[in-house]
Amino acid sequence: MRRKNWELKGIFWIITLLFVGFLAAPILLLLGKSLVGEGGFTWEFYASVVTREGFLTALGNSFAVAAASAVTATVIAFLMAYAVHYTGLPRWAKRLITAIATLPMFLPTITYGFAIIYSFGKQGLLTRLLGRQFFDIYGFGGLLVGYVIYTIPVAFLLIHNTMGFVDKKTIIVSKAMGDRDLATFWIAILRPLLGTLAGAFIQAFFLCFTDFGIPASVGGGYEVIATLLYNQMLGGIPDFNRGAVIAMILLIPSIGSICILQLLERFNIRYTRISQADLRKNPLRDTGWGVSSTAISVAILSIFAVIFVVPLVEEWPYQTSFSLEHFAAVFTDSELITVYWHSLVMALLTAFLGTLAAYGAALITARSTLPPRYKRVIESIALVTNAIPGMVLGVAYLFLFSGSGLQNTLLLMILCNIVHYFSTPYLMMKNSLSKMNAGWETTAMLMGDSWLQTILRVVTPNALSSLIEVFSYYFINSMVTISALIFIAGARTMVLTTMIKQLQYVNRFNEVFVLSLLILATNLIAKGLFSCLASYKASHPVKERRSIQLFGNRKEAVQ
């Protein structure tokens, strides 16, 4: 038992030191930068930022566009999830709706902005097809469209997953009691989802408020807090102290969002048993939801259609004959190919090391006898990482590691991604490990096996499908992230998303779209591969009997 505790404590201290060095230290230094000047402690930087002309306007703009986008994304996500769970649409149609709802998560947010420009601009694809420009793409309208597309996948997945755990027989009971359609809708569908709907809104709001990629491309003169931070840190005349103040202010709604999400947990309805009742046939209902889902899906796909069209013509919009010269230019450019390999290496190493970190942390909280204080530390780390926006983390790393051997290195970018995305993979692994037989480690100890042997031979094979999902999550997010990396990537460690930002400055949008398609193709291939592996492992689990036999065989061998 003592050896097992030492191994677990070793994992605990490795994880703790990782987050002390690459989360606590950078954030504390950022706080210090915002409060300490040449003369010592001061509130001067906060006062000058808050009273600066345009700051409160930018802050108000951020709240307004983030709130509007979050409401719209949550409503659209609910409609799409409802079509999947509560209609008689064909299975292929439901799968297609799910795929389209999650498609945007495979592209970097900065690409959304360029897709909006080339779709809804004066010479945009949809503008030319429909004969008119529907809104001003630079400012509130462009940000709203971009943010809605960005947050639909997150909101949809939250609502979609919760709908799968709502007892469908409640609808039948409500109808049998004589309730009207609206009353049934409230009792059987909307009421059980209130906590999730509020959570989807909060998550969408948080993502919109802290995103940098979309304002970087379509923000225009509509200032938001994220662009203020970028201009303060990397603009013509950088001001690090006031940049630190803006970063700390950016933390306030983030922390508030996490606190609200914790409070919303009490509104979730939990069923003792979940029944999947067959829905009554209703052609009118299915036709209506089919049409609405088709309209939403077409709207999402039409915005991204330009990504495929523009690189395949000579020069949009003036020479529209088919051409592969833009693809050829990218794939023969050694610099761009090197950048792609940087992204691939960074994503793979982030996924591998991040999965190890999430697995180790979950073993401590879900499958150990360590004192509660150890588990509380891990839970606190997961909660804090979920509240730190990527831009804030990137600025903090810029302060802490400038002039060090880690500055502008792929290693620093990998560590940044591991810390930034730690919360969700950890929770995925914790939930998976908690559902396994709690007696495996005890049985192994009685049979003379070490804790490490038990983990490698029994627990890990049973957790393999979850490990693959965590690996996939880290990989895809590392391929599309930009908010943190924009501050810590160097000229020699450019990745695809930061290169796209550089190409924007010289108006090389054909290359931007080709690189975006390269990211999309890589993520789709990776997601397909990981999903197949995870499904195979989930359908071929390591049986408990086989696990116990391993212990028994070892005991016989010893005897």
Q: Convert the pLDDT of each residue in 501-511 to its tens digit.
A: 888 888 888 89
Segment 402-425 shows an average pLDDT of 93
Give the range of the structural domain holding residue 501, as residue numbers without chain letter. 1-28+323-537
Residue 164 has pLDDT above 90, yes or no: no
**Nearest to residue 27, comparing CAs of 541, 299, 383, 385?**
385
CATH number for 427: 1.10.3720.10
Tokens, residue 552: 């028994």
Using alpha carbons, list the distances in angstroms from residue 507 to 276, 386, 501, 511, 513: 53, 35, 10, 9, 12
Q: Convert the pLDDT of each residue in 184-234 to its tens digit.
A: 777 777 778 888 888 889 889 988 998 888 898 888 888 898 888 888 776
Confidence of residue 480 (pLDDT cuts 50, 70, 90): very high
Q: Convert the pLDDT of each residue in 103-153 to its tens digit.
A: 999 999 888 888 998 899 888 888 888 888 888 889 899 999 999 999 999
Identify whether 544 is part of a domain.
Answer: no
Identify whether 401 is part of a domain.
Answer: yes
Identify whether 463 is part of a domain.
Answer: yes
Identify whether 558 is part of a domain.
Answer: no
Tokens, residue 536: 């195979």
Final residue in a domain of this structure, among 281, 312, 343: 312
Q: What share of the chain is helix, strand, coil (3-state, %, to 5)?
A: 75, 0, 20
**485, 367: one domain:** yes
Residue 553 has pLDDT above 90, yes or no: no
**300, 271: one domain:** yes
Identify whether 12 is part of a domain.
Answer: yes
Predicted pLDDT at 465: 85
Distance CA 271, CA 551 (A): 37
Identify whether 547 is part of a domain.
Answer: no
Final residue in a domain of this structure, among 312, 347, 366: 312
| 546 phi and psi angles, rounded to 5 deg | -65, -35
**87, 217: one domain:** yes
Predicted pLDDT at 63: 92
Identify whether 243 is part of a domain.
Answer: yes
**Nearest to residue 424, comparing CAs of 480, 354, 372?**
354
Kindly tell me the sign of the dihedral angle through the C-alpha atoms of 269, 273, 274, 277.
negative
Buried b (16+ CB within 10 A) or exposed e, 195-207: bbbbbbbbbbbbb
Predicted pLDDT at 152: 94
**For all residues of the chain together, what is the average pLDDT?**
84
Total residue length of the chain = 559
**237, 343: one domain:** no
**249, 341: one domain:** no
**419, 445: one domain:** yes
Final residue in a domain of this structure, among 290, 312, 334: 312
**299, 184: one domain:** yes
Confidence of residue 446 (pLDDT cuts 50, 70, 90): low
Of 320 and 519, which is predicted with more confidence?
Answer: 519
| DSSP one-letter code for 332 | T
Angle value at C-alpha 431, between 429 and 437, nearest 5 degrees? 100
Predicted pLDDT at 257: 76
Confidence of residue 270 (pLDDT cuts 50, 70, 90): low
3-state SS assignment for residue 321: strand
Segment 407-415 shows an average pLDDT of 94
**410, 447: one domain:** yes
State pTM to two decimals. 0.85
Confidence of residue 48 (pLDDT cuts 50, 70, 90): confident
Segment 365-372 shows an average pLDDT of 84
Residue 357 has pLDDT above 90, yes or no: yes
Of 212 and 361, which is predicted with more confidence?
Answer: 361
% pLDDT > 70, the chain: 87
Kindly tell me the sign of the dihedral angle through the C-alpha atoms of 349, 354, 357, 363.
negative
Name every residue whose Cβ is closer than 8 Å to that of residue 556 and which is 6 or more positions away in sequence.
none
Of 356 and 264, which is predicted with more confidence?
Answer: 356
Using alpha carbons, list the distances in angstroms from residue 192 to 159, 170, 195, 305, 453: 11, 10, 7, 37, 43
Total domain count, the chain: 2
**Nearest to residue 391, comparing CAs of 559, 214, 150, 177?**
214
**24, 139: one domain:** no
Identify whether 217 is part of a domain.
Answer: yes
**344, 238: one domain:** no
Distance CA 230, CA 486 (A): 9
**3, 96: one domain:** no
Predicted pLDDT at 106: 93
**382, 433: one domain:** yes
